[in-house]
Structure 1
Amino acid sequence: MTQKLLLVDGHSILNRAFYGMPDLTNAEGLHTNAVIGFLNIFFKLLDDENPDYVVVAFDTSAPTFRHDIFKEYKGTRKPMPQELHEQVPLLKEVLDSMGVRRYEQPGLEADDILGTLAKRAEAQGMIVTLVSGDRDLLQIASDNILIANPKTKGGQTTVERYHTQEVIDEWGVTPEKFVELKALMGDSSDNIPGVPKVGPKTAKELMQTYGSIAGIYEHVEEITKNAIRESLKANKESCDLSYTLALIKTDADFELPWDSAKRVNYLNENAYKEYKRLGFKRLLSKFSEEVVNNAFASLETAFTGGSSKNSGFGNGSANNNGTDVANSSNDGFSAGSGFGISEGSSAKGGSSDMNCDLEIENILRNVPQKVDVTSVTSFDEAQKIIQEAKDYAKGHDDRFIGFSVIEDSKDAEDFIGLGISFENGKAYFLRNTEKFTAEYAGKVLEDLSKDCRLATFDIKNTYHLFTPYEIDSKKAKGNFDILIGAYLLNPLKDDYTPEDIAGEHLGRMMKSYKERFGKRSLKELIEVPMQMTLDLGIPMPEEDTKKKSKKAAAPEILPEDALKQIVEYAGEVANTAMHGAFILEKKLEDAKMAGLMQEVEMPLSYVLYSMEKEGIICRRDALKDYGDKLAGRIAELEQNIYKEAGEEFNINSPKQLGVILFEKLGYEGGKKTKTGYSTSADVLEKLAPEHPFVRDILEYRGLAKLKSTYADGLADYIESDNRIHTVFNQTITATGRISSSEPNLQNIPMRTELGRAIRKVFVPRDGYVFADADYSQVELRILADMCADEGLLEDYRSGKDIHRATASKVFHTPFDEVTDTQRRNAKAVNFGIVYGISVFGLANDLGISREEAKGYMEGYFLTYPGVKAYQEGAVAFAKEHGYSITTFGRRRPIPELKESNFMRRQFGERVAMNAPIQGTAADIMKIAMIRVFMRLRKENLKSRLILQIHDELLIETAPDEVEVVKNLLTEEMQKAADLKVPLIAECSIGKDWFEAK
């Protein structure tokens, strides 16, 4: 059987992947898009070609023989973007972990290596596929050598394929003559000069007419075009030089035994570990279960310093009697006190980053890869372990008890067990038994919370079992959520998992929940499946055996294996939480965010849990009526649109709508793309003022979205108590703002009257009312505080309408004579400045010329020079440190500031201006929520905080507590921060959310 060789041009394909994939970075901050794109192409090629041998060739930085004969060779190439440059060694590391044969040699280009290997293989009877984005290699094509040219766009890869005939069809010459074609027309990317005035079309015509360069020069006087003829005659040396530069060597001097390139299982254990380390999550699914298991089985299980009974981290470690013993390797690592909310934060990090890194490195040496987990079913043994944990951690702020709750749902009957860890590399899984129930586990956690510090992943998801002690009582330091800690240190990640945190902060590799269990129910996995037959050696009740086929399939995972996986997972999460909490807190202290963690984010997690538990009543009947009303107006708009268009068409089809607007009706401003005319919102909004037809379409779109998202969509989330229990997300946004999902109530519309009407379906419980308060222009007030511009501060302190005051100064108009248009424009500038808006953006927003917008912004900065100084300072700080910082110390990394792409850097500068303001607003709202919640709880009121939307808080208020709640709500919101200008919160009361707002 004929063998097959796959050759890959490493740099070329990596470059194609870089520009074809969106920018991606992993937890370490490494750019990974090119490597992931390369691997996507690589695996597709393996599937398509099924080769026996594989080689990936790379260029080196050393000069080649081509540079020796022409120093300017490739001299016009721009430097490789830094984001791509850093991925070259990364790709080589990945290929090495996979066992892929790669080759490079100083003095040779990858093309020469590939060309030589291709011809060697062909001579030995092999079939070759050579993959490169460089068309130079078409000269190597033959009936046995395929040149594959992949193109990647939007993450999708297609491959153009060339044998001899395809080269002839496209270029009009054989592969052997393709190099002569290039010698004539030159190549600007490689700085091969070619013959001036001879482009691709002319070169192709000349080669087809005369057959070769030699033939062209033999008949050069016959060429009728004077300019071409004279250029050929004058540039013969350039043509010969170009031929030499373009000719790929097929006899390069190097040895590469085919056995070294034999295809092996590239999805092996080492590759899995490397993919896991680099965060290639989507590619992990390619690995077999056996490889994954072997990868974890191969991890070192040795413990530093022996069994390390009770050897937690801190100033010392407790022995079996609970007394302190010296531990020199951990001396000096006790947690610091952090900062109070009123103290703010310095701009710099904490003490020396190097010292912190060395401390953490010393600690990590003691963290084992493998966790020894013991399953416990004895109630007495479970109590003993709990007491040991308490003895170890009680009274020690720098010791954590890690825990994990394993359950299929928050119903008590779905509780499976509690993972607990307080020893180095050791954990216990306390299984659900008749005595050790969900309720008992909650009491255990509550009791431990009183005297110790608990640590877990996603603590909000465990509060249904217990109330943390520090919510109602004073405690120096409370519990710790490693999810929130990891988020604060890197708020740019898409998601956070226990295994991510273990890998990034502990250097530990963990199997993910999905890798272990997929989407299967845990309780079903550990219970004996009813379809199992006697063939598996498990007896079944007689009534069940009659119903089941004797050929019933065995389950994918046997109960004892599933239980083993559950025990391991519970213990690993608990142990990772214990170790991770200490490491993360240390890093947060160094970043001056320990106070933010303990005094804001951790208390907030319980506030959000309480709000989720309470939920908000949504009237089904009112929601249906609202949907019917929308449907009626949508139908009316449909008929109006069809009438104006003169035909019925799919209004939701951009392609059909584009034809109607710009061809049939002849509206100006159509932007044609590959798929038709653009009918995006910004295009339609420019047409709307002059065309009622377009206004109808915009209204139709808005109402259709309202109906699908809210009128129809919300109904699915109303539970048996007639309430919607949205999920509040604390670790999603880069700026620290809270978001919500299932459903997303943060996007409840406010711009249109019909959109606002959706709030009428949300009502309080019988007899209660809603108290709704929101901040007035909180971000603008924060800007004034941060820039300390005396004019802006005075405008706020005077209590004047800030937009009218700005218009008065910018447009040099007496305050009382400012027009509505002037105020509207000033408002756009005020809010635009907060978001670092550009002249172009402001012009678009206001529908004015760029010159006019530029004048507005220049006038604004002349009026308030402190604002410009703040913006420049914020950008300079972010460029120096790599992150922005809020008043309360929250950091927002801005890697875009270092990118080579100009547009991305500009985006980074806008983020640097805006993130401190938005982040401070988020912090203020969080502090306000905590203060309001604690006041309601402390004063034992019946009223409950149930919703937070942007700058707004909603309380379901008992009728006899209305005045108390109104005062409490505004008072605590206004005291949430001490700014140079007053924080204003305005409260109103209503029988539904619409009326309250």
Structure 2
Amino acid sequence: MSQAPLVLVDGSSYLYRAFHALPPLTTSKGLPTGAVKGVLNMLKSLRKQYPESPFAVVFDAKGGTFRDDMYAEYKANRPSMPDDMRLQIEPLHQSVIALGFPLLCVEGVEADDVIGTLARSSAAADRPVVISTGDKDMAQLVDGHITLVNTMTGSAMDVEGVKEKFGVAPEQIIDYLALMGDSSDNIPGVPGIGPKTASGLLVGVNGGLKELYEQLDIVPTLPIRGAKTLPAKLQEHKEMAFLSYQLATIKIDVPLDVGLDDLHLIEPDREKLLELYTLLEFKSWFDEVQRDAKRTGLEVAAPVIDNAPVVNTELKYETILDQARFDVWMKKLGDAKLFAFDTETTGIDAQQAQLVGLSFAVQPYEAAYIPLTHSYMGVPEQLDRDTVLRALKPILEDPSKLKVGQHAKFDMNILANCAIGGDQSCGITVQGIAYDTMLESYVLDSTATRHDMDSLAQKYLGHTTVSFQDIAGKGAKQLTFDQIALEQAGPYAAEDADVTLRLHQTLFEKLTAIPSLVSVLTDIEMPLVPVLARIERQGALVDAKLLGVQSVELGEKMVELEREAFAIAGEEFNLGSPKQLGAILYEKLGHPILSKTAKGQASTAEAVLAELAEQDFPLPKVLMQYRSMSKLKSTYTDRLPEQINPRTGRIHTSYHQAVAATGRLSSSDPNLQNIPIRTAEGRRIRQAFVAPKGYKLLAADYSQIELRIMAHLAKDEGLLHAFRNDLDVHKATAAEVFGVELGAVTTDQRRSAKAINFGLIYGMSAFGLAKQIGVDRKQSQAYIDRYFARYPGVLAYMERTRAQAAEQGYVETIFGRRLYLPDINAKNPALRKGAERTAINAPMQGTAADIIKKAMFAVDNWLTASGLDAKVILQVHDELVLEVREDLVEQVRDEIRQHMSHAATLDVPLLVEVGVGDNWDEAH
């Protein structure tokens, strides 16, 4: 029988990765816990995977190492550890030890060196080693005995894996790192040498750094781009290359106080774990430890927090399969002042998924699931679907029966679309949804966490919910909910309703401490839920044939652009391959490297290509056009026809209230917010959104709403005067900034003034403005200075907002919506400046979002009350698009303008521009 491997865990690597990759979790008292949870999850998984193995979990010790003495700049470019990460180190270390894992921290060296020493010692004793890490430097340790595994991604790497990934053998990895450097550790390497060149050099000389420098004369003959210039470059930076070699080398001879025989797992310290899990609010793990203790007959005292013992509440979940229990729950729902509800479905597309069952909760820890259409072999007899829905319909449609949901819009659409008795028009129109826990969390703090149920339960209840993958599996073999056995489906569904109710109680209590946020929830977000649900169900009509024609034309243009790119490059290559493109741009054509990826490779990202295009390099210009065409084709002209609902013949986008931090709505499947309007190709896609026969599309758009909000917030007399007197604000700004009469403003001056007006809203620098309007930085700074001299109220607003944000940690919209700014006092200047730009812009963008939401609610109310044959079918940015019967267009046009312009009262009027046409482009 083969020996169980020694498992060495790179704790520091996983701490950083868990902190940056996983959702931020905090306890009810504000202690960050997300990284702790991520690392402990990984350790628990490893323990199950290697139950017989010795273990060591290794962390970096405090203080410097021998590498800092060797090179003062080592890791100098790393920002200081975030406070939220530092606070998690001690509870993580304590938790690791309490779980029974040996933990090592050795001063003067890094965790890598401790791991390298233990790994080589074990390998020398013929014992296999598994190193669990996400650090590429560790690849130098791989040999016949030592393997790397990445528990976060599930990947493993042996000798062949190293060769495949890096293009060199494990024994050449140090040389490879020495040549290309490592930006994360600030190992300098040789400037201009990337991964491909480094591996090509080492393979070409069949050795390492020493052999390379002994054979510089053969380098020009190697099949490497730019090989002729490499010897001089290598010679110039020889000293730095060998220093980099030393910095990248993992020590394998660190003196240690422990030997391999000391690295065995011990029994977990249950009392300590209960104490830690209580502090960290890991309720499900707390419960697990108590259950294990009871099962083994051990007496473990419940920890005491704030002088009160932690109480485990018994869950009362049931699956309803008989009429008597259904009647009991109908009475519970009828008597409840508020109940939580949730639907289980066959999918996540609210317009096509089928209802499988419903769950309800009327008080915490007590919930029921009513299965309706589970269809696996051996499923117990369920209550009749139509009978249940007819019984529930009156209570679900009663606006006086208050309800709470988690992302309730989805459940509303499912129930509205579920035909009772086969009648498609006979669904359930849910009313009385007073609260939505997703929106409560979003309004409380849009940036604190994700707003899905699992994240919220973890953050606010300390409860780990059963995930859908736990009961349904994943990948191609994942079951739909109707295929899941009731023994698993029932508790899962009941938990959804129970957790929703408990979350509401916790979140709404927090909201009530800030009355303005309660107002944002109850006056803006909640009234919008049924409005968005109706818009989604209505959908928009698209001309699939026209989209097909556009798709062919875009494909032909892409072929032309591809040929043009090949001609410029002098060879054919894959335009979609960053690796091939990087080789052409930087190695063959010698374009300047403006940015590198996290892996140290020259970037070919959109922003980089845009900057290169601005420097008049022809290939980046062609590539930008190609990418634009490709995105339009794949995202819209090819995809939209596939997204037409076969039942309705329309496209039904999904609107998201709890995504954008500022309060803006976003949409998906399809994303309508990103269709470009400034290009002919983008406008042609809008032409495919059409009105049915006998109808017109009407587009109502707020004009310059963010500038008007800035005028209101800044109270600047110049801006107020321009808007109150219906002046062309960009022309008025141009007259002020360029010192000319209003009638003498040229088109170019107006364009520059427009860039200044909008640029300042988004925090544009003088450098950014200079690039945009085509002047030097000195001239653009002069324009900005003159702007602030003419509009001093704007400058005062910006300075006031920055100061307030730094003092209180957040900014607010006119209606009281808050945006928290965790980096507003960051020591890192780039982070702090970014937060300051957000602080200035967020009140304007957030207020604009609030206004369009209030307008949607007002328009929907009017349309519902009037009974007119007109419906909102789209909302994009500051625009509403309606489908209106032709003979009602003038009446609806006037009413829409009134309702939208009176959605808020500012110091300047809200101007609404309304257009009409047979398609969206015409109407806009």
1:922 aligns to 2:849 (yes or no)? yes
Q: CA deviation at 1:589?
A: 1.7
Residue among 558, 570, 578 paired with 2:501:
578
Deviations 1:81-109 (A, max 9, x none): 23442232243145246432225699999
CA contact under 8 A between 1:26 and 1:278: conserved in structure 2?
no
Q: In structure 2, what is the Cα distance between the partners aligned to 1:655 and 1:77?
A: 26
Q: CA deviation at 1:647?
A: 5.6
CA contact under 8 A between 2:64 and 2:108: conserved in structure 1?
yes
Q: 1:53 to 1:851 in 2, by over 3 A?
A: same
Q: 1:380 to 1:967 in 2, by over 3 A?
A: farther
Q: In structure 1, what is the Cα distance between the partners aligned to 2:551 and 2:508?
A: 49
- Spell out the pairing of 1:313-352 with structure 2 (5 A cutoff): none
Q: What corresponds to 2:25 in structure 1?
A: 26
Q: What corresponds to 1:615 in structure 2?
A: 539
CA contact under 8 A between 1:886 and 1:917: conserved in structure 2?
yes
For structure 1, the 5+ residue unaligned runs are 65-71, 173-186, 190-203, 206-245, 285-290, 302-359, 394-399, 527-561
1:567 aligns to 2:499 (yes or no)? no
Specify the code of the residue in structure 1 equivalent to 2:749: Q
Q: In structure 2, what is the Cα distance between the partners aligned to 1:859 and 1:513?
A: 59
Residue among 314, 323, 326 paired with 1:379:
323
CA contact under 8 A between 2:273 and 2:286: conserved in structure 1?
no
Q: What corresponds to 1:391 in structure 2?
A: 335
1:628 aligns to 2:552 (yes or no)? yes
Q: What corresponds to 2:366 in structure 1?
A: 426
Deviations 1:667-695 (A, max 9, x none): 87565966568474554565468577765
Q: 1:499 to 1:826 in 2, by over 3 A?
A: same
Q: In structure 1, what is the Cα distance between the partners aligned to 2:798 and 2:863?
A: 39
Residue among 897, 918, 931 paired with 2:824:
897
Q: What corresponds to 2:346 in structure 1?
A: 408
Q: What corresponds to 1:973 in structure 2?
A: 900
Residue among 875, 879, 895 paired with 1:952:
879
Q: What corresponds to 1:482 in structure 2?
A: 437
1:82 aligns to 2:66 (yes or no)? no
What is the SS of the residue equivalent to 2:413? Answer: coil
Q: CA deviation at 1:370?
A: 4.4
CA contact under 8 A between 1:770 and 1:993: conserved in structure 2?
yes
Deviations 1:216-236 (A, max 9, x none): xxxxxxxxxxxxxxxxxxxxx
CA contact under 8 A between 2:79 and 2:828: conserved in structure 1?
no
Q: In structure 1, what is the Cα distance between the partners aligned to 2:135 and 2:328?
A: 69
Q: CA deviation at 1:993?
A: 0.9
Q: In structure 2, what is the Cα distance between the partners aligned to 1:681 and 1:91?
A: 39
Q: In structure 2, what is the Cα distance between the partners aligned to 1:515 and 1:716?
A: 31
Q: In structure 2, what is the Cα distance between the partners aligned to 1:804 and 1:415?
A: 56
Q: In structure 1, what is the Cα distance between the partners aligned to 2:603 and 2:467?
A: 45
- Please identify, of 973-982 and 499-508, the stretch whose mean Cα deviation from structure 2 is larger: 499-508
What is the SS of the residue equivalent to 1:406? Answer: strand
Q: What corresponds to 2:473 in structure 1?
A: 518
Q: In structure 1, what is the Cα distance between the partners aligned to 2:479 and 2:119?
A: 52
1:262 aligns to 2:265 (yes or no)? yes
What is the SS of the residue equivalent to 1:897? Answer: coil
Q: In structure 2, what is the Cα distance between the partners aligned to 1:710 and 1:119?
A: 55
Q: 1:97 to 1:871 in 2, by over 3 A?
A: farther
TM-score with structure 2 length normalisation?
0.72
Q: In structure 2, what is the Cα distance between the partners aligned to 1:152 and 1:833?
A: 46
Q: 1:363 to 1:612 in 2, by over 3 A?
A: farther
Specify the code of the residue in structure 2 equivalent to 1:584: L
Deviations 1:609-642 (A, max 9, x none): 1011000001111111222333344344445555
Q: 1:891 to 1:188 in 2, by over 3 A?
A: closer
Q: What corresponds to 1:91 in structure 2?
A: 92
CA contact under 8 A between 1:487 and 1:496: conserved in structure 2?
yes
Q: 1:789 to 1:486 in 2, by over 3 A?
A: same
Specify the code of the residue in structure 2 equivalent to 1:426: E
Q: CA deviation at 1:784?
A: 1.3
CA contact under 8 A between 1:443 and 1:466: conserved in structure 2?
no
Deviations 1:177-196 (A, max 9, x none): xxxxxxxxxx999xxxxxxx
Q: In structure 1, what is the Cα distance between the partners aligned to 2:293 and 2:334?
A: 31
CA contact under 8 A between 1:417 and 1:429: conserved in structure 2?
yes
Specify the code of the residue in structure 2 equivalent to 1:82: P
Specify the code of the residue in structure 2 equivalent to 1:568: P
- Spell out the pairing of 1:542-941 with structure 2 (5 A cutoff): 562-591=485-514, 592-639=516-563, 648-653=572-577, 678=604, 680=606, 682-684=608-610, 687=613, 695-720=621-646, 721-941=648-868
Q: CA deviation at 1:956?
A: 0.3
Q: In structure 2, what is the Cα distance between the partners aligned to 1:387 and 1:749?
A: 53
Q: CA deviation at 1:250?
A: 3.8
Identity %: 32
Q: What corresponds to 2:411 in structure 1?
A: 462
Count of residue pairs the alignment pairs up: 795
What is the SS of the residue equivalent to 1:763? Answer: coil
Q: In structure 1, what is the Cα distance between the partners aligned to 2:887 and 2:133?
A: 76
CA contact under 8 A between 1:769 and 1:957: conserved in structure 2?
yes
Deviations 1:914-959 (A, max 9, x none): 1121111111111111111111001111100110000100010012
Q: CA deviation at 1:812?
A: 1.8
What is the SS of the residue equivalent to 1:764? Answer: coil
Q: CA deviation at 1:973?
A: 0.9
Q: What corresponds to 2:909 in structure 1?
A: 982
- Spell out the pairing of 1:163-242 with structure 2 (5 A cutoff): none
For structure 2, the 5+ residue unaligned runs are 66-71, 163-168, 176-184, 188-208, 211-250, 296-304, 373-382, 418-427
CA contact under 8 A between 2:449 and 2:456: conserved in structure 1?
no
CA contact under 8 A between 1:53 and 1:263: conserved in structure 2?
no
Q: In structure 1, what is the Cα distance between the partners aligned to 2:440 and 2:294?
A: 27
Q: What corresponds to 1:498 in structure 2?
A: 453
Specify the code of the residue in structure 2 equivalent to 1:600: I
Q: 1:788 to 1:125 in 2, by over 3 A?
A: same
Q: 1:828 to 1:603 in 2, by over 3 A?
A: same
Specify the code of the residue in structure 2 equivalent to 1:100: F
Q: 1:96 to 1:404 in 2, by over 3 A?
A: farther
Q: CA deviation at 1:606?
A: 0.7
Deviations 1:369-410 (A, max 9, x none): 5421122233354234222332232xxxxxx21112223256
CA contact under 8 A between 2:454 and 2:464: conserved in structure 1?
yes
CA contact under 8 A between 1:483 and 1:496: conserved in structure 2?
yes
- Please identify, of 915-924 and 806-815, the stretch whose mean Cα deviation from structure 2 is larger: 806-815
Q: In structure 2, what is the Cα distance between the partners aligned to 1:417 and 1:625?
A: 43
What is the SS of the residue equivalent to 1:99? Answer: coil
Q: In structure 1, what is the Cα distance between the partners aligned to 2:533 and 2:130?
A: 58
Q: Between Structure 1 and Structure 2, whose CA radius of gyration is higher?
A: 1
Q: 1:56 to 1:751 in 2, by over 3 A?
A: same
Q: CA deviation at 1:572?
A: 1.5
Q: CA deviation at 1:856?
A: 2.3
Specify the code of the residue in structure 2 equivalent to 1:773: A
Q: In structure 1, what is the Cα distance between the partners aligned to 2:727 and 2:457?
A: 53
Deviations 1:804-841 (A, max 9, x none): 11121122222222222222121111111111222332
Specify the code of the residue in structure 1 equivalent to 2:320: V
TM-score with structure 1 length normalisation?
0.68
Q: 1:820 to 1:17 in 2, by over 3 A?
A: same
What is the SS of the residue equivalent to 2:336? Answer: helix
